[in-house]
Amino acid sequence: MLHDPNHLYIFDTTLRDGEQVPGCQLTTSEKIEIGIELERLGVDIVEAGFPVSSPGDFQSVVELSKNLNDVIICALTRANENDIKVAAESLKFAKRGRIHTGIGSSDMHIKYKFNSTREEILERAVAAVKYAKSFVEDVEFYAEDAGRADNEYLAKMIEAVISAGATVVNIPDTNGYCLPEQYADKIRFLKENVKNIDNAIISVHCHNDMGLATANSIAGVKAGARQVECTINGIGERAGNTSLEEVAMILQVHHNSFDGLKTNINSKLFTAISRQVSMMMDMPVQPNKAIVGKNAFAHSSGIHQDGFLKHRENYEIIKPEDVGLDEAGIILTARSGRHAIKYHLQRLGYNLERSDLDSLYTKFLDLADGKKEITDQDLINLAQNTTIKV
Ligand code: KIV
Ligand code: ZN
């Protein structure tokens, strides 16, 4: 696969690793609503589900494939033919489909999860990639628990799967085990020791068991990875995954430290999508969560308030409006006019034609008559129904 060396690919797995969390399950139509917002946010790849796991997950991948046009749709599998065949079937409507297959790579997983040997696992990894390749051009391979895997063996596995056709190689720190320098050393080791590494993109996929998921992902990017797997609000198994909004803002604030690496992310949509995901998944965001927590831009101590009032940048490294936090305090009610609605729609990334705005306004008044206040989510729903003909 040809790729732009200055682009950092954002692979969103909110709808797969995030949705696996107990209590976070979504209906297919909720997944489509989030998928549409992820596409508007500017992610490159949406991991839409694990199709063999349930008929609902299969259907979600089918529907997301039909409804999203500008992103790669990815489907997860284990390293066996049935999973891969089902994933390929679920992707048949995708404009660009990717199969994400893989197997454990640490001795712990090889022995206690698969009751197998390094040699046998390597053969299964290669066979899975070759089989996936018979359906789609774009095949991503994950070496599960790579964080704890022996680097020499991992390098052998990665070289073999790239030779078999993998276009992206995912090096997951499945258990959130690594320190940032250990994880960076692993990525660097692969770059230096896998002969065909330039034929694939290295992807980082980190879990947050010790609060290091974002730090490890960033360390991996600095060592040469060019795809980050992450979720909105950092939701995911156990303590979660790398948070998408944290990675994107780190790149934005520290752009000089990343040799011109760029993403397509529109950070102004973060607050709205964070609230949407939190509400639909019934998963509150911790108040002190970086970027999207309720307190992320609140200054409470006297010393900080005094310094902030003298000059915002004394205590503000990111402007709240850059992540879509509304500072104007314009509240939408049944008495609001078109200007206020237009202001909020623009803040949420919707620039509607006059006629669409008029038709949305009528629906807005109907809704606002029965509610005290209209939320961002209400507006997004109105805008999607007005502008997107699905
Ligand atoms: O954490 C992990 O290893 C995963 C893989 C299935 C990619 O989620
Ligand atoms: Zn994971």
Question: Does 306 score more than 90 pLDDT?
Answer: no
Which listed ligand is nearest to 173 at the C-alpha? 1
pLDDT band (50, 70, 90) for residue 4: confident
Q: Are residues 302 and 272 in the same domain?
A: no
Q: Relative to the CA of 241, which ligand 1 atom is closest?
A: 1
- The span from the CA of 90 to the CA of 196, in Å, is 30
* Boundaries of domain holding 86: 9-280
Pocket test for ligand 1, best of 205, 231, 235, 242 (most atoms within 8 A of CB): 205
Q: Is residue 3 part of a domain?
A: no
The Å distance, Cα 174 to ligand 1 centre, comes to 6
* Statement to judge: residues 235 and 348 lie in one domain: no
Q: Is 143 helix (H, G, I), strand (E, B) or coil?
A: strand
Domain closes at, from 280, 311, 345: 280
- The CATH number of the domain where 221 resides is what? 3.20.20.70
pLDDT tops 60 at residue 46: yes
Centroid of ligand 1 to alpha carbon of 303 (angstroms)? 44
Of 146, 151, 218, nearest in space to 180 by CA: 218
Query: Which bin fits 363, alpha (ψ -120 to 50), beta or left (φ > 0)?
Result: alpha
Atom of ligand 1 at shortest distance to CA of 229? 7
Number of independent structural domains in the chain: 2
Which ligand does the CA of 103 lie closest to? 1
CB 73 within 8 A of CB 31: no
For residue 389, being part of any structural domain is answered with no
pLDDT > 70 in the chain, percent: 98
Based on the fold, state whether residues 259 and 321 are members of the same structural domain: no
pLDDT surpasses 50 at 309? yes
Lookup result for tokens 């934005």: 252
Which has the closest alpha carbon to 28: 6, 5, 51, 11? 51
3-class SS at 220?
A: helix
Q: Measuring from atom 7 of ligand 1, which residue has the nearest CA?
A: 142
Residue 76 pLDDT class (50, 70, 90 cuts): very high
- Cα separations (Å) of 97 from 93, 121, 331, 345? 8, 26, 41, 31
The answer to whether the CB of 276 falls within 8 A of the CB of 34 is yes
In DSSP terms, which residues pair with 169 in a beta bridge?
141, 202
Q: Which ligand is nearest to the CA of 174?
A: 1
Q: Is ipTM > 0.90 here?
A: yes
Question: What's the pLDDT score for residue 329?
Answer: 66
Mark residue 349 as left, alpha or beta (left: phi above 0; alpha: psi -120 to 50; beta: remaining). Answer: left
Residue ID of nearest Cα to ligand 1 atom 5: 144
Are 281 and 19 spatial neighbours (Cβ–Cβ below 8 Å)? yes
Please check whether residue 289 lies inside any domain of the structure: no
CA gyration radius for the chain?
A: 22
Asked whether residue 111 is assigned to any structural domain, the reply reads yes
pLDDT band at 310 (very low <50, low <70, confident <90, very high): confident
CA of residue 11 to ligand 2 center, whole Å: 12
DSSP per position, 153-198: HHHHHHHHHHHTT-SEEEEEETTS---HHHHHHHHHHHHHH-TTGG
42 within a domain of the structure (yes/no): yes
Q: Report the length, in residues, of the chain.
A: 390
pLDDT at 330 (0 to 100): 73
Q: Residue 171: nearest ligand to its CA?
A: 1
Q: Do both 338 and 364 map to the same domain?
A: yes
pLDDT at 389 over 60: no
Tell me, yes or no, whether 4 lies in a domain. Answer: no
- Asked if 74 and 147 sit in the same domain, the reply is yes
Residue 343 banded pLDDT, cuts 50, 70, 90: confident
Q: Can you give the pLDDT at residue 86? A: 98
Question: Tens digits of per-residue pLDDT, 79-126?
Answer: 999 999 999 999 999 999 999 999 999 999 999 999 999 999 999 999
Would you say residue 110 lies in a domain? yes
Say yes or no: 195 and 339 in one domain. Answer: no
For residue 145 the two structure tokens come to 């628990």
User: Which residues are near ligand 2, the ion (C-beta closer than 5 Å)?
Assistant: 17
Side chain identity at 65, as an amino acid letter? S
Contact 263, 4 (CB under 8 A): no
**In a shared domain, residues 210 and 318:** no
Residue range 222-275, pLDDT digits in tens: 999 999 999 999 999 999 999 999 999 999 999 999 989 999 999 999 999 999
Q: Per-residue pLDDT for 184 more than 80?
A: yes
pLDDT of residue 301: 78
Residue 56, token pair as written in the block: 């609902």
Give the predicted TM-score (pTM) of the model: 0.90
- Ligand 1 pocket by Cβ (under 6 Å): 17, 142, 144, 170, 172, 174, 205, 207
Single out the residue in 247, 280, 313 at which a domain terminates. Answer: 280
Quick one: CA dihedral 226, 231, 236, 240, positive or negative?
Answer: positive
Band the pLDDT of 302: cuts 50, 70, 90. confident
Residue 328 pLDDT grade (very low, low, confident, very high; cuts 50, 70, 90): low
Average pLDDT over residues 182-211: 98
Q: How many CB atoms within 10 Å of residue 328?
A: 10
204 vs 66: CA distance, rounded Å? 28
210 and 236 assigned to the same domain? yes
Cβ proximity of 265 and 10 under 8 Å: yes
Residue 390 pLDDT exceeds 60: no
Give the distance, in angstroms, between the CA of residue 88 and the centroid of all CA atoms in the same chain.
Answer: 21
pLDDT category of residue 6 using cuts at 50, 70 and 90: very high
Domain boundary pick from 280, 309, 340: 280
* Residue 33 banded pLDDT, cuts 50, 70, 90: very high
Check whether 336 has a pLDDT greater than 90: no
Which atom number of ligand 1 is nearest to the Cα of residue 145?
3
Give 172 Cα–ligand 1 centroid separation in angstroms: 6
Q: Mean pLDDT across the stretch 185-214?
A: 98
In this predicted structure, the answer to whether residue 303 has a pLDDT above a threshold of 90 is no
198 CA distance to ligand 1 middle (Å):
23
Check whether residue 309 and residue 232 sit in a common domain: no
- Same domain for 161 and 264: yes
Alpha helices in the chain (DSSP H): 28-41, 55-67, 81-90, 107-108, 118-133, 151-163, 180-193, 213-222, 244-253, 270-281, 302-310, 338-347, 354-369, 376-387
- 95 located within any domain: yes
**Minimum mean pLDDT among 49-63, 158-172, 323-337: which range?**
323-337
* Ligand 1 center to 142 CA (angstroms): 7
| One domain, residues 255 and 331 | no
Contacts of 280 (CB under 8 A, 6+ apart): 26, 30, 33, 34
Residue nearest to atom 8 of ligand 1 (CA): 17
Q: Return the best residue to mutate from 76, 173, 204, 206 for the ligand 1 pocket (most ligand atoms within 8 A of CB).
A: 76
d(CA 48, CA 274): 18
In this structure, are 119 and 189 located in the same domain?
Answer: yes
The answer to whether the beta carbons of residues 170 and 105 sit under 8 Å apart is no
Contacts of 71 (CB under 8 A, 6+ apart): 38, 39, 43, 44, 45, 46, 96
Ligand closest to 234 (CA) is 2
